[in-house]
Amino acid sequence: MTNLKDKKIRFIGIGGVGVNALCKLAMDSGAEVSGSDAKLNNLCARLMERGVKIYEGEDASQVKGADMVVYSSAIKQDNAELVYAREHNIKALERQQFLREVSKDYSQIVGIAGTHGKTTTTAMLTHILALCGKNFVSMIGGESVDYGNYVNNSSGEMGDVFITEACEYKHNFLSLKPTVAVVTNVECDHPDSYENYDSVREAFDEYLLGAEVKIFAIDRATTNVPVCGVNTGVPINVPVYGANSDCDFAVLVSRGESTRTYVAKLEDGICRLFYDGKYLLGIQLDEACDYNYKNAVFAIVTAEVLGVNPICAARALKTFGGVKRRFERASDIDGKPVYFDFAHHPTEIRCVLERARGYGKVLKVFQPHTYTRTKAYFDDFVDVLGYDDGALVLMPTYAAREKFDASCEHDVLAAAIKDRYGKLDIYVAANSNEALEYVRKYAHKHDVVLFIGAGDIYNIKDEI
């Protein structure tokens, strides 16, 4: 990309994790930055502490004199600052376009994609490279406990590694052109952006096709059919080890005509990793679960592709601190442990509930995220939330970019769950205050409290 030094760049939606990280990279590159967001948050506050001028709301006059505007994909086209930029011929790039441009300064571009697990995998890979002495820049699509959402461990040389989470929303990840493309798994998480599962899979195939190195999972339960990459022409030959378990899965690394296969098996609290039929190493994580071991395998395999000794990678993960909003421990309520998790898709909710049940009876609080997702997977939400002996609190849907839809609001979801699982204790909260009040009243009847959702439910953590 052209030199950013002394360039004046305006970031619209600067409180978003991705845009916020790009702002930090621009600052490190010598740019003069400013920004705006509809509502200021902690990420904004940290930038303001560094002297960045950030405006709450929209102010077109502040774009005057800017060389470039970078905006979040959540920003509407009639945003006053964006309109001003276009009317005055100021270069305006959506977040993923700017991401692609800055990534061109690096010889190795690693994109971590997947419907589930990409943030944790990106954070794990970041931790590995940091402890194993690699020069890199990392754009984490969430907040790592150890590093936040951005790490600059670069030497400034072209040979450094650029790591970024690659999100499939609105096909955004197709703007990125990674040299190493990783896909952890494929499901339809954005029904507002894709017609069906096949269209999602086609997008992931396209994402993989352009990369020199492809890393993706093999579904051994379906005769070794690739979870994605079905149209990449990659030959599949995966050895099978032992009996099936939740952690039994395989990762394929494809580079040109050559392939390498890694198979993982969870036994006795250790995830054992095999490479082409031979035992390679054991992975141990602090308070781990099956899905995090899968994330760890992807991180270790990707690190090895980047030249890191896998033994060093596995040792590094022993000190991995985790990611905020991913089964994050909060203060106790009435002596009961409280956790927050970002899960918002039925598959994610099922995994995190299985993890929480290890502590005993679960009091779960769920905030649906977008009406389109609730409507698309309504029956799945009913099943995953209703099949449990603990109480369930449902909060109003976090609409995000969508308009209110009474046909699939939280009260409708509650009624459907009650019809199918009549004995389940369900409370329909009007707001977060009511939800927290209910939890404080009944936490003592449970062993663990779990707040689930990708919206503003996380704000309850500060109230606790």
Res. 48: pLDDT tops 80: yes
Residue count (the chain): 464
Q: What CA–CA distance (Å, rounded) separates 72 from 102? A: 16
> Which position has the token pair 């890199």?
136
Residue 330 is predicted with a pLDDT of: 93
Residue 73 is predicted with a pLDDT of: 87
What is the band of 86 on the pLDDT scale with cuts at 50, 70, 90? very high
List alpha helices for 33-111, DSSP H.
Answer: 42-49, 80-87, 95-103
- Dump pLDDT digits (tens) for 408-452: 999 999 999 999 888 678 999 999 999 999 999 999 999 999 999
Q: What CA–CA distance (Å, rounded) separates 363 from 438? A: 10
74-88, 211-225, 366-380, 444-458: the lowest-pLDDT one: 211-225
Percentages of the chain per state (helix, strand, coil), in multiples of 5: 35, 25, 40
Give the CA distances from residue 230 to residues 51, 185, 204, 217, 389, in Å, rounded to whole numbers and listed in that order. Answer: 48, 13, 10, 11, 40
Contact between residue 390 and residue 354 where contact means Cβ atoms under 8 Å apart: no
How many alpha carbons fall within 13 Å on the CB side of residue 302? 37
Q: Which residues in 79-92 are b (16+ Cβ under 10 Å) and which e?
A: bbbbebbeeeebeb
Q: For 385, which DSSP code?
A: H
Contact between residue 125 and residue 163 where contact means Cβ atoms under 8 Å apart: yes
Strand-pairing partners, residue 362, are: 448
Contact between residue 75 and residue 13 where contact means Cβ atoms under 8 Å apart: yes
Give the CA distances from residue 37 to residues 25, 45, 152, 335, 361, in Å, rounded to whole numbers and listed in that order. Answer: 18, 12, 24, 38, 40
- Dump pLDDT digits (tens) for 190-246: 777 788 888 888 888 889 988 999 998 875 544 343 444 334 444 333 333 232 334
Return mean pLDDT, the chain: 88
Contact between residue 138 and residue 180 where contact means Cβ atoms under 8 Å apart: no
Q: What CA–CA distance (Å, rounded) separates 5 from 14? A: 20
- Dump pLDDT digits (tens) for 268-281: 778 889 887 788 99
Contacts of 80 (CB under 8 A, 6+ apart): 58, 59, 60
Res. 282: pLDDT tops 50: yes
Q: Under DSSP, is residue 27 helix (H, G, I), strand (E, B) or coil?
A: helix
User: Checking DSSP bridges between strand 53-56 and strand 91-94, what pairing results, if any?
Assistant: unpaired
Q: What CA–CA distance (Å, rounded) separates 397 from 173? A: 27
Mean pLDDT of all residues in 321-348 = 92
Q: What CA–CA distance (Å, rounded) separates 353 from 388? A: 9
What is the band of 291 on the pLDDT scale with cuts at 50, 70, 90? confident
Q: What CA–CA distance (Å, rounded) separates 26 from 95? A: 13
453 Rama sector, left if φ>0, alpha if ψ -120 to 50, beta otherwise: left
Residue 423 is predicted with a pLDDT of: 67
